[in-house]
Amino acid sequence: MFSVSIDLTKRFSFFLVIILTLFSELPFAQNIDEQMQQAGVFYRNGDFDKAIGIYEQLRIDNFEGTSLYYNLANSYYRIGKLGYAILNYERALKISPSDEDVKHNLAFANLSTVDRIQPLPTFFLFEWWESVLASLSVNGWTYIAFFFYILLMMMIVVYFFAKTIFQQKLILFSGLGILVIFLIAVSLLIVKINREETVIGGVVTEQSTTVKTSPDQKSTDAFVIHEGLKVNLEDKLDNWIKIRLADGKVGWVENSSVARI
């Protein structure tokens, strides 16, 4: 009797913690919503700097979301900071790869960039693979893989309840098809996670930046890049970052010249 009472007390405490956690997050969510609305008012009134101040503070407070980055990018674009606009469009696109508004505004902003970098040619199958991979975020591929996993488990259960050979064959071949799709989804998810961890994208935020051959101000100038250009961040040494362009060129720039997506 005593052990049952203790068990009930533990369960009650567990649910109480969950309930208190949920209620404690409500004021925080409401506060974020209020700040987003206030920033929207500033934006509509043309006070873009004030809107940016609110959006950036939310970002510093570790809040992120497609709408936050999208609105922040729009605000930066309106005050002429192209690099920061493209940076935040890219951040929004990373969260929601299929968002048409984000893709449209990013494409429009890229028209204003100075650099026209021609990417290295790739085999069309690799291009197709990359486009499929980029169509969803990590969360998106996780949901897809989980959905087909559940569907596969259901097909296995249904198979044992089939009453005829025809039904078993139909379920078997359907299950094999679902298994193939599940394995493809898992493969894409693994590649996407690995890509997120190993390939770090960045955007040039300075109007003009001289790329050096080594992480030293006195080293030879390699080439010049301009704000809004998307690059890969490959290494870091003190206040220098090694970048790689889409055409394969590499070099070093100062840390303040680029920002991570």
Tell me: the pLDDT tens digits for 217-249? 999 999 999 999 999 999 999 999 999 999 999
pLDDT in tens, 24-36: 445 545 788 889 9
Residue 45 has pLDDT above 60, yes or no: yes
Residue 122 has pLDDT above 90, yes or no: no
DSSP bridge pairs for 211: 223
Share of the chain above pLDDT 90, in %: 69
What is the rounded CA–CA span in Å between residue 151 and residue 199?
Answer: 32
Q: How far apart are CA 181 and CA 137, in angstroms?
A: 17
Cα four-point dihedral sign 117, 204, 244, 193: negative
Band of the pLDDT at 125, cuts 50, 70, 90?
Answer: confident
According to the model, what pLDDT value does residue 27 have? 52
Contact by Cβ (8 Å): 109, 228: yes
Q: What is the per-residue pLDDT for 126?
A: 81
Reply yes or no on whether the pLDDT at 13 is more than 70: no
* pLDDT interval class at 3 (50, 70, 90): very low
Instruction: Give the pLDDT score at 8.
Output: 44
pTM of the shown model: 0.76
Q: Three-state DSSP class for 209?
A: strand
